Every structure is written in structure tokens, then in C-alpha cells.
Amino acid sequence: MIVVLKRGMSPQDLERLKRKIEDLGCTYEVYGDEEPLLRIRSNQHRIARDFILSQPGVQDVFRLTSGHPLANKGHATESTVVAIGDYRLEPDHFLVIAGPCAVESEEQIDEIARALSQVGVRVLRGGAFKPRTSPYSFQGLGESGLRYLRAAADRTGMKIVTEALSSSELPLVSEYTDILQIGSRNMQNFPLLKAAGKQNRPVLLKRGMNATVEEFLLAAEYVLESGNRNVLLCERGIRTFEKATRNTLDINAVPLIKQISHLPILVDPSHASGKRNLILPLSRAALAAGADGIMIEVHNHPDAAKSDGSQSIDFAAFNEVLASVKAFAPLLAKKVM
Ligand code: PEP
Ligand code: MN
């Protein structure tokens, strides 16, 4: 059983609550600073939910019937609205995040940021630490990449999302970024998930390419449980027997997760398909399926990109995607942001 405590619950009320739980023969632990939680560990059956709910300082109580209670709708009735700087990703928004797979140079990211911000893109993507399948592939520019990305975003008034590959580099990435990305290959890196849960930044969590929806939500639960409630999920395609595309976009996952969870979910058609000529139809599919946005790889010279060129689109193709989702969005009562 999880007891959500009110922010600013008085220490006296907390002590009284603990004593009542002990008197019932139960053990518990309290954790989280900003939004503290109390987890009752043993003999939960001895406790009536209404009894705990009626105690001063208690906001909500729920039983662990699901493995991911914090990610589930039961916990928060409203959809989670993630704040990205001054911008809030509301449930009727369709957020378009765009940028290169990797930051390659100061000039490259600057040119891309300018072109994208001119057409209204507010969140710029770009990897500085790249999780590459081969150690011989371009690994990213590291901290200088973060610096170029931050500067390009600041010059254009954009926000950024970039990936941290390990908990040890998380503080460094956090210094520069607005949104912390946890990549597909790291979806079950539990120390990283816990560390991201302690950061004061929204987390964009990508679905593991071999992960079920249940495992995906459990990964989100790690971040939520560690204290960070600002989680954006991202469906980026899963591995199937199909070889015609890099991955298979599991479009099912979008409405399914919208039914189970209060967390926003984005779609990444670039990694899902690996093919630039599929980005437009898959972006439309994401919108139609009820996604809260898309994240697309856009490059100033896609054929010369140091990573993921074949799935990256140029500015003209991106503008077509943008125009298309803008045309369809009103049908779904969504606004493209
Ligand atoms: C990325 O978005 O840069 C990336 C590496 O994606 P994924 O983790 O989904 O493969
Ligand atoms: Mn990529």
C-alpha cells in the first residue's frame, strides 16, 4: 500500500501516522523529499484504506494491485502535464520535437536550430553522448556537443532534449539540458532510472526495443518512484521478425498506454522505421492514434549525417510533416505545438 503524503505535512502529523501504522503491526518506509510517499511493507491486510485516508496530512492511498501504481491512471486522475521551461504539454497538444540524431559541430546544430525555430519548433533534440551499436561509429562530441546544443537553443529561444548514457554523466548532462533522455538501450538501466528520478528535469524515457508495454511502464515507475513525476514516454519501435524496416512502430502501444497511464506519450517515427520516406505517414499515424507528440530526426544534410542519416529528413521534408500534422490535428481536437 502506498500513502501519498501532502506537501508540507507537519512532522507531528507524520509521527502520529507512523505510530498508528506501527500499532497495527505493519512496517513501512517514508521516502521522497518534494512529494513524500509512505510505503506500507508488511501486513497491509490489517489496514483499511479509508482509515489511512482520514488521517491528517494524507492525500491519497492506493493498494499495489498493479506493479506500476504511480504510472497508472488510478494514481492521478488527470493527465500529467509536463512543464518544459514555461511551456506546458497539455493533453490537447501535439508537441513536435525535432533535431539531428547527433550534434556534429557548432555550425551544424546552429543551422538546424535556426531553421527549426523559424517554423515554430520549441524543443530541439540532439545527442552529445551517443549509444552506438558499434564502438567504431561516431560516439558523439560529449561535453562540447552539450555546449553547442545549449548555445544553439539559447540563441533561438528553444529548449533541448539530450541523452545521458549512464548515471555517472547524468549530473553533467543535467547541467545543460531541459529534458533528460533515457534511450532505448538503457530503458532497464535501473541505477540510471533511479538517478534520473532524483533530477529536477523532465525525463523522456524511450521504450526498450525488446521491452513489453508492462516493462516500459515499470521503467517509468522507477523514475516516478524515485521522486520525479515529470516523465514523457516515447514509443520508438520494437524489434520484430520484420526486416524491411529498422524496427516496427508499435502503434498499439499508444492508445493502450493512454488507457492505462496518465503520462504523456510521444512517438519517434525515425528510429521506429529507419526510413526517411516513412516519417510523414508515421507522424500522421501517431497523431491519429492519440499520441501527445512526435520526435523526429532532422538534418541540414541528411546524406552526410554522422549517424542515422537514412532516417533523417531535411528541412523541406520536415516542413511537409509539420504542415500535414497541422492540417489533421483539428480533427483530433489537438493543437500542434
Ligand atoms: C536517439 O533518440 O538518439 C536514440 C539513440 O534513440 P533510441 O534510444 O530510441 O535508439
Ligand atoms: Mn538516432
Q: Which of 200, 187, 271 is nearest to 237 (CA)?
A: 271
Read off the pLDDT of each residue in 44-63 and give the average, rounded to a whole number.
88
Please report which confidence band the pLDDT of residue 168 belongs to, taking 50, 70 and 90 as the band edges. very high
Read off the pLDDT of each residue in 138-161 and give the average, rounded to a whole number.
98
Give the Å distance between the CA of 33 and the centre of ligand 2: 35
Q: Which of 168, 174, 180, 172 is nearest to 205 (CA)?
A: 180
Mutate to test the pocket of ligand 1, among 268, 294, 296, 308 (most ligand atoms within 8 A of CB): 268
Give the Å distance between the CA of 166 and the centre of ligand 1: 14
**CA–CA separation, 74 vs 72, rounded Å?**
5
Q: Which of 8, 72, 57 is nearest to 225 (CA)?
A: 72
Check whether 35 has a pLDDT greater than 90. Answer: no
Atom of ligand 1 lying closest to residue 101 CA: 3
**Given this model, what pLDDT does residue 8 score?**
86
How far does the chain reach from its first CA to its final CA, in angstroms?
38
99 Cβ inside 6 Å of ligand 1: no
Q: Which of 150, 135, 136, 137 is nearest to 103 (CA)?
A: 150
**CA–CA separation, 235 vs 252, rounded Å?**
10
Atom of ligand 1 lying closest to residue 185 CA: 8
The 10 Å Cβ neighbour count of residue 135 is 6
Give the Å distance between the CA of 101 and the centre of ligand 2: 4
**Nearest protein CA to atom 9 of ligand 1, as residue:** 184
**CA–CA separation, 197 vs 84, rounded Å?**
16
**Given this model, what pLDDT does residue 75 score?**
64
131 Cβ inside 6 Å of ligand 1: yes
For the ranges 50-59, 60-69, 89-98, 261-270, the lowest mean pLDDT is seen at: 60-69
**Given this model, what pLDDT does residue 243 score?**
97
Rg (CA), the chain: 21
Please report which confidence band the pLDDT of residue 76 belongs to, taking 50, 70 and 90 as the band edges. low
Q: Is the Cα torsion angle 267, 272, 278, 279 positive or negative in sign?
A: positive
Q: Which of 268, 84, 100 is nearest to 183 (CA)?
A: 268
**CA–CA separation, 284 vs 105, rounded Å?**
31
**Residue with cell string 524515485:** 226
CA distances in angstroms from 79 to 38, 64, 258, listed in the order given: 23, 20, 9
101 Cβ inside 6 Å of ligand 1: yes
Read off the pLDDT of each residue in 128-150 and give the average, rounded to a whole number.
97
Strand pairing of 37-40 and 28-31?
A: antiparallel
**Given this model, what pLDDT does residue 215 score?**
97
Mutate to test the pocket of ligand 1, among 97, 129, 133, 181 (most ligand atoms within 8 A of CB): 181
Read off the pLDDT of each residue in 144-169 and give the average, rounded to a whole number.
98
Q: Which of 233, 248, 224 is nearest to 187 (CA)?
A: 233
Give the Å distance between the CA of 227 and the centre of ligand 2: 29
More confident residue, 266 or 4: 266
For 180-220, how does the pLDDT look when each residue is reduced to its tens digit (9 = 90+)? 999 999 999 999 999 999 999 999 999 999 999 999 999 99
**Centroid of chain to Cα 227:** 15
236 Cβ inside 6 Å of ligand 1: yes
3-state SS track over the chain: CEEEECCCCCHHHHHHHHHHHHHCCCCEEEECCCCCEEEECCCHHHCCHHHHHCCCCEEEEECCCCCCCCCECCCCCCCCCEEECCEEECCCEEEEEEECCECCCHHHHHHHHHHHHHCCCCEEECECCCCCCCCCCCCCCCHHHHHHHHHHHHHHCCEEEEECCCHHHHHHHHHHCCEEEECHHHCCCHHHHHHHCCCCCCEEEECCCCCCHHHHHHHHHHHHHCCCCCEEEEECCECCCCCCCCCECCCCHHHHHHHHECCCEEECHHHHHCCHHHHHHHHHHHHHHCCCEEEEEECCCHHHCCCCHHHCECHHHHHHHHHHHHHHHHHHCCEEC
